[in-house]
């Protein structure tokens, strides 16, 4: 005799205990510390902070440990934590022009005020597995840089071009409230600030593929890397009760300003337009992809046709979030047997009707001579 | 919707410092925002109200919309029932029930009649609901026109203008191809003579229960950030053609356990030789009926004993 | 007689270019007007402006509604405007994939407007669809096929049936025969001519093909660079063109 399955609660508890055990792995191997992850898996930590929309390296490292290294799961933990945090307000806009630079490169100028600063980069490394890394050891100390160039001597490339009127100016800050798609539902068409927020939180792989698609002809934007800069900027906040900004400390950022050819239209003369990317920590791939997609999403505003996925803001914003995507894809694991039963019943009925039609005598031949001929 | 007042959020932190989280997880500012959306939804039956869905500690697609609606309406005296596929013991139902036990400390039940709030995925309980009860549906895709028109800007206009011809084109295509309407779940309904609404992926068997229901029906879609509602005693009509009226599927047998007829059944595969049986999808309904039978049998047995003595 | 449609001063600028520059004309019930010109002359923009799909920079379009009152289309609410477009107006597109639902059967395509205005009887919708398919010479056994399985000429005929099913009084046609084989074109034109006469439709047909204009239209309007160069009765304009540009246009056709 069939008895309905019970014991879901116990099964869930057991599954979670097993998860904890598997997470730890072989107990003979020393356990990872959060500090180790934070220091030695830094790019991973940066990605979790960026897509998690929360600047907290220790929390991101802990989330990675808890998630067994699964990036999307770690982002999920950070986001779910973030949603419970009280919100005190918005900081002053950060001034990336005043960034303490760790790295700064431009592809549009051979040399420029402040120079090209390579910083820590995989670029130009030969991707040969370094078997020496399998053993513990300390690297040779890196060369000391000259004393930090002061920020004024290292202006943003976009500021240099902008002075000559060749590049569209940044839209002026009109003091309008900053949209926040984690606090308000997106209302299409979304303005650029909300789009940029969505892209910054968006999945790196998805944006990378979309940005790539624009380069391969699905909505070409003729991009140049005006500048990528990586470094620390100061974060300032103006508490209502004080009325003047106070420093909250510094955050590490990567900014990419993409410069795109534009032929002008109507009253607008030909000039270069911009795509913008900004992420926490060091994340050049994401920042560049974001800048490419940001520029593509400006198609409508610039009077260009909206024809490919990267130009379609409903398509991009509704699908770039890894949590929404993973939740809905993975929810297919949940039981659907009630709906499946309804479909099963329908298919059985359709099959029965089909069989009945096949078994019935052929209709009068003058109705469908072709069909009869075919039989 | 406005962002929650920071002062409220701060107060919440203080209140929740001991337990770790506020009552029913969400802070009071967020709950107020959700309640405003719910009120608007009740005022405009069937209309999808955008709301600022929060990121919840369970995945999108796993009931975050329903959980937020439930969290916003729960009071300390409420009794909560959670079902998935009609059953109280499916894993995700267990998980959501535990979430509220842990964060709100409220009483839970598996009995439909005892619950004040019922959160559901894919079913409406078989036992008639009563005034004062709230049925909260988890909704994956709230837009009934979505698979006919993917663009939000366009579907919102179609709703605003009540242009629902496209929906009937879909039903027309079903009949042309299959001889009858081949939509078996998430079957579109017209609410209070105005908005066409997706009832969430419940089998169309359950559609008639939504009509003129004494309970308040709330629908939450977290990922899509929409809330909609059917107030008590509202006319809910399943779309159809005059000459192809809406019909629900019928099972040609009763529940193999409790013998109930005219209920929705799960098909259970018993072995690999084609053996299967059909049992109530609504586990509480089945158990309640079995309990009544047992009770009756016990009474009967007692009676016999008495007579024999 | 009061005209069905009155267009006045219709102007549209794209950047520095004038796509339509102060276009004006009137159209009587049952009258067929051909708008001819080279590509880029602004004739398709004119059609989009009249249909309200593109916002004009200046000018007006007035239409005599079924109740006899003439209304400026700008003053219609969105609801009224969309209702007008799917009942009393039709729009046959050059690209059938823009004018049809390619994933929906032929019957569904024809029935959509009926369902849009509230018909809820499947049998009646299907009977009407069958009737219209017959009138545009599409075999009854193709009613459940989607237009993806139709030839170019069939798709255009299906588009016409889909538009005419609500008995509109005005139909806009944008190059309905371009891209089709000559023999297919001839058959389609013949059918359009028959339906227009039978139903007393008013039509504005945009075409670069003067032969189409001659066959279908009572009057023509010659456009160049966004302006009306010449207008008049079709035979008059084509047989005795006054403007130098029209003469060039006519002679190039004759030479071809």
What pLDDT is attached to residue B300? 66
The contacts of residue A281 (CB under 8 Å, 6+ apart) are A42, A43, A45, A46, A47, A49, A50, A57, A252, A253, A254
Of A4, A183, A327, nearest to B223 by CB-CB distance is A327
Residue C153's domain comprises 101-167
**Average pLDDT score over chain B:** 88
Domain-embedded: residue C256: no
Query: Considering all CA atoms of chain B, what is the largest pairwise distance in Å, rounded to the nearest integer?
Result: 78
- Residue to test with chain C: of B148, B172, B241, most C Cβ within 10 A: B172
Residue B128 scores a pLDDT above 50? yes
Q: Tokens for A27?
A: 């107990």
Give the distance from residue A305's alpha carbon to the nearest chain C alpha carbon, in angstroms: 14
Q: Give the separation between CA C147 and CA C154, rounded to whole angstroms.
A: 8
Domain-embedded: residue C96: no
Give the distance from residue B9's alpha carbon to the nearest chain A alpha carbon, in angstroms: 5
Task: For residue range C198-231, list pLDDT tens digits in order.
Answer: 999 999 999 999 999 999 999 999 999 999 999 9
List residues bridging with A23 in a β-sheet: none
Helix axes B165-178, C122-135, angle to 10 degrees: 80
Q: Is B213 among the residues known to form the active site?
A: no
Query: Quick one: pLDDT band at residue B187, thresholds 50, 70, 90?
Result: very high
Domain-embedded: residue C95: no
Domain-embedded: residue C94: no
Could you tell me if B263 and B255 are in contact, meaning their C-beta atoms sit under 8 angstroms apart? yes
Residue among C202, C198, C157 nearest C176 (CA): C157
Is B139 in the A-facing interface, judged by CB distances under 8 Å? no
Kindly report which listed range (A177-186, A204-213, B163-172, B209-218) carries the lowest average pLDDT score.
A177-186
Of B161, B166, B243, nearest to C122 by CB-CB distance is B243
Contact check, Cβ <8 Å, C79/B168: no
Residue among B156, B154, B181, B157 nearest B170 (CA): B181
Contact check, Cβ <8 Å, B163/C116: yes
Asked if residue C177 and residue C243 are part of one domain, the reply reads yes
Q: Give the separation between CA A282 and CA A256, rounded to whole angstroms.
A: 11
Catalytic residue among B63, B220, B222, B258: B258
Catalytic residue among B65, B66, B86, B280: B280
Weakly modelled stretches of chain A, pLDDT under 70? 1-7, 145-152, 265-267, 362-375
What pLDDT is attached to residue B305? 45
Asked if residue C238 and residue C146 are part of one domain, the reply reads no
Is A352 in the B-facing interface, judged by CB distances under 8 Å? no
Instruction: Provide the domain count of chain C.
Output: 2
Q: Tokens for A95?
A: 């001034």
Could you tell me if B237 and B189 are in contact, meaning their C-beta atoms sit under 8 angstroms apart? yes
Contact check, Cβ <8 Å, C15/A368: no
Give the distance from residue A100's alpha carbon to the nearest chain C alpha carbon, in angstroms: 43
Query: Quick one: pLDDT band at residue C253, thresholds 50, 70, 90?
Result: low
CB-CB neighbors (< 8 A) of B165 in chain C: 112-113, 115-117
Domain-embedded: residue C58: yes
The residue among C117, C134, C167 that closes a domain is C167
Please report, rounded to a whole number, the percentage of residues in chain C having pLDDT higher than 70.
98
Asked if residue C58 and residue C27 are part of one domain, the reply reads yes
Which DSSP state fits B22?
Answer: B
Domain-embedded: residue C127: yes
What pLDDT is attached to residue B219? 98
Asked if residue C154 and residue C80 are part of one domain, the reply reads no
Q: Give the separation between CA A269 and CA A369, rounded to whole angstroms.
A: 67
Residue B42 scores a pLDDT above 60? yes
Is B11 in the A-facing interface, judged by CB distances under 8 Å? no
- As a residue count, chain A comes to 375
Is B274 in the C-facing interface, judged by CB distances under 8 Å? no
**Average pLDDT score over chain C:** 92
Q: Is B286 among the residues known to form the active site?
A: yes
CB-CB neighbors (< 8 A) of B86 in chain A: 338
Q: Which residue of B has its CA nearest to C113?
A: B165
Contact check, Cβ <8 Å, B172/C107: yes
Neighbours of chain B (3+ CB pairs under 8 A): A, C
| Residue range B222-247: mean pLDDT, rounded | 96
Please report the domains of chain B, with CATH numbers, ordered by start residue. 28-238 (3.40.50.11310), 250-301 (no CATH)
Asked if residue C159 and residue C195 are part of one domain, the reply reads no
Give, in degrees to the nearest 5, the angle at Cα B201 between A72 and B288: 110
Asked if residue C74 and residue C62 are part of one domain, the reply reads yes
The residue among C122, C151, C167 that closes a domain is C167
Q: Give the separation between CA C201 and CA C207, rounded to whole angstroms.
A: 18
Q: Tokens for A306?
A: 């909206």
> Which helix (H) or strand (E) element contains residue B223?
none
What pLDDT is attached to residue C190? 92
Q: Which residue of B has its CA nearest to A185?
A: B52
Contact check, Cβ <8 Å, B279/A353: no
Please report, rounded to a whole number, the percentage of residues in chain C having pLDDT higher than 90.
82
Contact check, Cβ <8 Å, B61/A330: yes
Asked if residue C223 and residue C129 are part of one domain, the reply reads no
Give the distance from residue A303's alpha carbon to the nearest chain C alpha carbon, in angstroms: 10
Asked if residue C246 and residue C186 are part of one domain, the reply reads yes
More reliable by pLDDT, B171 or B250 = B171
Q: Are strands C89-92 and C170-174 parallel, antiparallel or unpaired?
A: parallel
Q: Are strands A246-260 and A223-237 parallel, antiparallel or unpaired?
A: antiparallel
Asked if residue C77 and residue C195 are part of one domain, the reply reads yes
Of B152, B184, B283, nearest to A314 by CB-CB distance is B152
Give the distance from residue B302's alpha carbon to the nearest chain A alpha carbon, in angstroms: 26
Q: Give the separation between CA B64 and CA A334, rounded to whole angstroms.
A: 14
Could you tell me if B130 and B58 are in contact, meaning their C-beta atoms sit under 8 angstroms apart? no
Query: Considering all CA atoms of chain A, what is the largest pairwise distance in Å, rounded to the nearest integer?
Result: 96
Contact check, Cβ <8 Å, B6/A88: yes
| Residue range C26-41: mean pLDDT, rounded | 93
Is B161 in the C-facing interface, judged by CB distances under 8 Å? yes
Of A266, A303, A368, nearest to C16 by CB-CB distance is A266
Is A13 in the B-facing interface, judged by CB distances under 8 Å? no
Give, in degrees to the nearest 5, the angle at Cα A197 between A195 and A201: 115
Q: Give the separation between CA A160 and CA B230, rounded to whole angstroms.
A: 59
More reliable by pLDDT, B96 or A149 = B96
Question: How distant is the alpha carbon of residue A181 from its chain centre?
Answer: 14
Task: For residue range B260-274, list pLDDT tens digits in order.
Answer: 999 999 988 888 888
CB-CB neighbors (< 8 A) of C117 in chain B: 165
Handedness of CA C60, C64, C70, C75 (dihedral sign): negative
CB-CB neighbors (< 8 A) of B270 in chain A: 2
Domain-embedded: residue C207: yes
Asked if residue C107 and residue C223 are part of one domain, the reply reads no
Could you tell me if B190 and B199 are in contact, meaning their C-beta atoms sit under 8 angstroms apart? no
Of B169, B175, B177, nearest to C115 by CB-CB distance is B169
Contact check, Cβ <8 Å, B27/A84: yes
CB-CB neighbors (< 8 A) of B177 in chain C: 105, 144
Is C125 in the B-facing interface, judged by CB distances under 8 Å? yes
Q: Which residue of C has its CA nearest to B179?
A: C122
Of B161, B163, B172, nearest to C108 by CB-CB distance is B172
More reliable by pLDDT, C7 or A343 = C7
The contacts of residue C40 (CB under 8 Å, 6+ apart) are none
Catalytic residue among B29, B46, B63, B86: B46
Task: Please identify among residues 16-35 of chain B the ones whose CB lies closer than 8 Å to any CB of chain A.
Answer: 21, 25, 27
The residue among C137, C167, C197 that closes a domain is C167
SS3 B220: strand
Interface of A with C (CB under 8 A): 265-267, 303, 368, 370
Q: Give the separation between CA B83 and CA A37, rounded to whole angstroms.
A: 40
CB-CB neighbors (< 8 A) of C108 in chain B: 169, 172-173, 176
Of A266, A368, A370, nearest to C15 by CB-CB distance is A266
What pLDDT is attached to residue A368? 34
What pLDDT is attached to residue A375? 28
Q: Give the separation between CA A205 and CA A211, rounded to whole angstroms.
A: 10
Place of tokens 């026109």: B145
Interface of C with A (CB under 8 A): 13-16, 141
Contact check, Cβ <8 Å, B165/C117: yes
Cis peptide before A189 (omega within 30 of 0): yes
Asked if residue C240 and residue C200 are part of one domain, the reply reads yes
Give the distance from residue A283's alpha carbon to the nearest chain C alpha carbon, in angstroms: 39
**φ/ψ bin of C9: left (φ > 0), alpha (ψ from -120 to 50), beta (otherwise):** left
Of B1, B60, B95, nearest to A324 by CB-CB distance is B60
Asked if residue C245 and residue C176 are part of one domain, the reply reads yes
Q: Which residue of A has its CA nearest to C139?
A: A368
Does the pTM surpass 0.90? The reply is no
Is B55 in the A-facing interface, judged by CB distances under 8 Å? yes
Q: Tokens for C103?
A: 């994933």
């Amino acid at each position: 005799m069939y008895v309905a399955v019970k014991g879901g609660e116990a099964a869930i508890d057991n599954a979670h205990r097993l998860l904890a055990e598997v997470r730890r792995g072989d107990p003979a191997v020393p356990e990872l510390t959060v500090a180790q992850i934070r220091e030695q898996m830094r790019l991973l930590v940066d990605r979790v902070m960026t897509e998690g929309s929360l600047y907290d390296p220790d929390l991101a490292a802990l989330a990675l440990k808890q998630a067994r290294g699964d990036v999307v799961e770690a982002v999920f933990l950070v986001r779910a934590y973030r949603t419970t945090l009280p919100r005190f307000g918005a900081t002053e806009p950060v001034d990336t022009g005043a960034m303490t630079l760790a790295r700064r490169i431009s592809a549009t100028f051979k040399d420029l005020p402040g120079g090209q600063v390579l910083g820590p980069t995989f670029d130009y490394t030969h991707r040969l597995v370094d078997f020496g890394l399998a053993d513990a050891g300390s690297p040779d100390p890196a060369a000391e840089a000259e004393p930090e160039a002061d920020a004024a001597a290292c202006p943003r490339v976009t500021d240099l071009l902008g002075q000559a009127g060749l590049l569209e100016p940044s839209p002026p800050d009109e003091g309008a409230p900053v949209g926040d798609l984690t606090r308000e539902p997106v209302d299409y068409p979304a303005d650029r600030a909300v789009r940029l927020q969505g892209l910054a939180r968006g999945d790196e792989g998805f944006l990378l593929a979309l940005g790539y698609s624009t380069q391969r002809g699905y909505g070409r934007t003729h991009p140049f890397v005006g500048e990528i800069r990586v470094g620390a900027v100061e974060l300032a906040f103006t508490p209502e009760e004080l009325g003047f900004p106070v420093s909250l400390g510094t955050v590490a950022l990567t900014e990419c300003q993409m410069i795109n050819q534009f032929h002008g239209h109507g009253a607008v003369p030909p000039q270069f337009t911009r795509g913008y990317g900004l992420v926490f920590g060091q994340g050049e791939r994401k920042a560049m992809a974001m800048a490419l997609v940001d520029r593509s999403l400006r198609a409508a505003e610039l009077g260009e046709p909206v024809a490919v996925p990267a130009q379609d803001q409903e398509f991009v914003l509704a699908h770039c979030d890894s949590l929404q995507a993973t939740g809905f894809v993975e929810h297919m694991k949940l039981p659907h047997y009630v709906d499946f039963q309804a479909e099963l019943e329908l298919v059985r009925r359709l099959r029965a009707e089909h069989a009945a039609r096949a078994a019935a005598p052929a209709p009068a031949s003058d109705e469908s001579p072709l069909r009869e001929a075919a039989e | 919707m406005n962002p929650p007042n920071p002062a409220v959020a701060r107060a919440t932190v203080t209140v929740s410092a001991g337990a770790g989280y506020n009552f029913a997880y969400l802070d009071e500012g967020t709950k107020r925002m959700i309640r405003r959306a719910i009120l608007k939804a009740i005022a405009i039956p069937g209309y999808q109200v955008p709301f600022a869905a929060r990121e919840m500690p369970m995945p999108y697609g796993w009931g975050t919309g329903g959980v937020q609606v439930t969290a916003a309406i729960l009071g300390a005296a409420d009794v909560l029932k959670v079902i998935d596929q009609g059953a109280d013991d499916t894993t995700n139902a267990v998980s959501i029930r535990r979430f509220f036990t842990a964060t709100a400390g409220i009483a839970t039940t598996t009995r439909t009649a005892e619950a004040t709030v019922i959160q559901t995925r894919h079913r409406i309980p078989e036992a008639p609901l009563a005034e004062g009860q709230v049925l909260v549906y988890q909704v994956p895709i709230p837009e009934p026109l979505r698979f006919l028109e993917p663009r939000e800007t366009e579907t919102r206009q179609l709703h605003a203008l009540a242009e629902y011809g496209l929906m009937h084109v879909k039903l027309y295509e079903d009949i042309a191809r299959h001889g009858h309407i081949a939509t078996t779940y998430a079957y579109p309904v017209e609410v209070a003579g105005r908005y066409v609404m997706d009832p969430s992926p419940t089998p169309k068997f359950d559609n008639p229960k939504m009509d003129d229901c004494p309970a308040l029906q709330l629908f939450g879609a977290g990922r899509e950030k929409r809330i909609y509602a059917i107030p008590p005693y509202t006319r809910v009509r399943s779309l159809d053609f005059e000459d192809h009226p809406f019909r629900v599927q019928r099972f040609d047998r009763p529940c193999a356990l409790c013998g109930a007829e005219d209920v929705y059944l799960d098909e259970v595969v018993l072995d690999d030789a084609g053996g299967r049986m059909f049992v109530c999808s609504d586990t509480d309904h089945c158990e309640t009926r079995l309990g009544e039978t047992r009770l009756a049998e016990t009474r009967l047995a007692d009676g016999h004993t008495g007579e024999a003595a | 007689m009061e005209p069905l449609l009155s267009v006045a001063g219709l102007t549209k600028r794209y950047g520095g270019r004038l796509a339509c520059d102060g276009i004006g004309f009137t159209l009587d019930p049952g009258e067929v007007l051909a708008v001819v010109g080279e590509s880029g002359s602004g004739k398709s923009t004119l059609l989009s402006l009249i249909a309200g799909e593109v916002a004009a920079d200046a000018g007006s379009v007035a239409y005599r509604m079924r109740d006899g009152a003439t209304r400026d289309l700008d003053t219609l609410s969105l609801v009224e405007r969309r209702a007008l477009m799917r009942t009393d107006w039709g729009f046959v597109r050059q690209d059938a994939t823009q004018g049809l639902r390619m994933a929906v059967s032929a019957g569904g395509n024809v029935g959509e407007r009926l369902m849009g205005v509230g018909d809820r009887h499947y049998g009646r919708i299907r009977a009407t669809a069958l009737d219209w398919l017959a009138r545009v010479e599409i075999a009854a056994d193709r009613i459940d096929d989607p237009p993806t399985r139709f030839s170019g000429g069939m798709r255009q005929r299906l588009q016409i049936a889909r538009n005419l099913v609500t008995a509109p009084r005005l139909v806009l046609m944008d190059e309905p025969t371009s891209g089709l084989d000559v023999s297919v074109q001839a058959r389609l034109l013949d059918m359009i001519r028959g339906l227009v006469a039978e139903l007393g439709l008013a039509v504005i047909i945009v075409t670069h093909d003067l032969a189409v204009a001659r066959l279908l239209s009572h009057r023509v309007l010659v456009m160049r660079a966004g302006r009306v160069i010449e207008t008049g009765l079709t035979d008059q304009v084509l047989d005795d063109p006054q403007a130098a540009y029209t003469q060039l246009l006519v002679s190039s056709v004759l030479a071809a």
